[in-house]
């Protein structure tokens, strides 16, 4: 039995004290909503995790600076349709100007604003649209605006993705709300400083920035960093958590309450990560790749990701082909060291490979598994005790069409 409850139609505004909006600023030629804002009525402790791509977008660079230097934030501004990536000093200035414009409109300081962008890379940000979006978005902020906000950050997503939970701590109700976007260019490798996927999380606990960073680090590694749609890491991947403290519940590192909160937060993040894979561009299959008994977790991770990102495996899954030869090939070129004669593989509960060779299961028994919307490929290396899992999907004709045609 879980220690938390899911909130029906939950979003970032399920958390008391947070307002949000989603409006049309004019970034998308379709006229769809493309500009979101989140605003806290009180200052928030916060942390963030960001892409490890060397070509990190200007908004990512601004947000990293906030995490390193700002004690609190109160607002997030997110546009969809322009990534503001590979835009040089002008792009950085425009990201900062976005924070300044939002701060003036909201009556706060620029350092209390974080900025995210998603869309086409290499195009300078049209600041007239940013200013227009801020005016519209600030005017539309409301306590039930989370649903509009999540719709406004979508690009090739086919469905909005938001969730919220509540739990009891110290005799009081605590809430966690979140929204995310991402369907393609998904293979996050986010780090707390030191998609495109964007995720914003709100909560009403009180926790210092260091504790939020600690929780975000471990939970990102067990959620968003475990998914891959196409093996392409974005320039803009961002996860931000904002904690306004309004519940009156203060968390301290190492306490049972902090552990309970972390588990609920992980459930929200894994829920959204899973839904991102299910909504992968053109995806028809959700596949769990699970490595067991590897020499090290590093080896297990390399092995799992090699299979999960193999185009030959992904196209076989789309075609319902149980061709396990593509799986062993991906294991073999992964770079991990292992004895192939010790390898065992299962599709769900059906043995496919035993001791490195055909397990003898009739192909007809495997075809039904491959036709399922979801299945698991479990791989036993018999080299040690380490393991790792990844959530991924197939590659279909639609994926090629979307990415051949896509601009914004």
What's the CA gap between 120 and 57, in Å, rounded? 11
Q: What is the DSSP letter of 206?
A: B
How many CB atoms are closer than 10 A to CB 294?
Answer: 26
Q: Are 179 and 150 in contact (CB under 8 A)?
A: yes
Q: Are 2 and 167 in contact (CB under 8 A)?
A: no
Structure tokens at 373: 């919307």
Annotate 136-152 with DSSP letters as a single string. Answer: HHHHH-BTT-HHHHHHH
Structure tokens at 119: 């869309």
CA distances from 186 to 47, 93, 340 (A): 22, 27, 30
Structure tokens at 107: 């009556």
Q: Which residues of 229-257 are buried (b: 16+ CB within 10 A; e: fewer)?
A: bbbebbbbbbbbbbbbbbbebbbeeeeeb
CA angle 106, 109, 115 (to 5 degrees): 75
Give the active site residues: 196
What's the CA gap between 116 and 349, in Å, rounded? 43
**H or E, element range at 106:** helix 88-106
């Amino acid at each position: 039995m879980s220690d938390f409850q899911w909130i029906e139609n939950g979003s970032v505004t399920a958390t008391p004290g947070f307002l949000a909006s989603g409006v049309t600023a004019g970034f998308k030629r379709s006229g769809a909503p493309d500009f979101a804002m989140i605003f806290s009525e009180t200052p928030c402790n916060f942390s963030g995790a960001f892409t490890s791509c060397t070509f990190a977008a200007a908004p990512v660079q601004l947000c990293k600076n906030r995490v390193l230097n700002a004690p609190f934030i109160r607002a997030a501004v997110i546009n969809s349709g322009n990534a503001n990536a590979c835009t040089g000093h002008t792009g950085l200035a425009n990201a900062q100007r976005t924070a300044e414009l939002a701060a003036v409109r909201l009556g706060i300081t620029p350092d209390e604003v974080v900025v995210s962008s998603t869309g086409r890379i290499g195009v300078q940000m049209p600041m007239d649209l940013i200013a227009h979006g801020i005016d519209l978005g600030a005017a539309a902020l409301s306590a039930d605006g989370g649903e509009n906000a999540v719709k406004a950050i979508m690009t090739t997503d086919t469905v909005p993705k938001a969730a919220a939970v509540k739990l009891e701590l110290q005799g009081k109700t605590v809430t966690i709300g979140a929204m995310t976007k991402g369907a393609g260019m998904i293979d996050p490798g986010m780090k707390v400083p030191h998609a495109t996927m964007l995720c914003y999380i709100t909560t009403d606990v009180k926790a210092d920035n260091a504790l939020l960073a600690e929780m975000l680090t471990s939970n990102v590694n067990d959620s968003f960093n475990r998914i891959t749609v196409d093996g392409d890491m974005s320039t803009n991947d961002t996860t931000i958590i904002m904690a306004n403290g309004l519940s009156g519940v203060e968390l301290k590192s190492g306490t049972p309450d902090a552990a309970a909160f972390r588990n609920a937060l992980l459930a929200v993040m894994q829920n959204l990560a899973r839904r991102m894979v299910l909504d992968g561009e053109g995806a028809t299959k959700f596949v769990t790749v699970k490595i067991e008994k590897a020499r090290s977790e590093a080896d297990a991770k390399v092995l799992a990701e090699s299979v999960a990102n193999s185009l030959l495996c992904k196209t076989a899954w789309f075609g319902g082909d149980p061709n396990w030869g593509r799986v062993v090939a991906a294991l073999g070129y992964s770079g991990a060291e292992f004895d192939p004669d010790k390898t065992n593989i299962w599709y769900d509960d059906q043995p496919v490979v035993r001791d490195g060779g055909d397990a003898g299961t009739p192909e007809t028994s495997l075809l039904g598994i491959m036709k399922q919307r979801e299945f698991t490929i479990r791989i036993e290396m018999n080299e040690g005790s380490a393991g790792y899992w990844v959530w991924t999907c197939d590659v279909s004709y639609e994926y090629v069409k979307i990415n051949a045609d896509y601009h914004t």
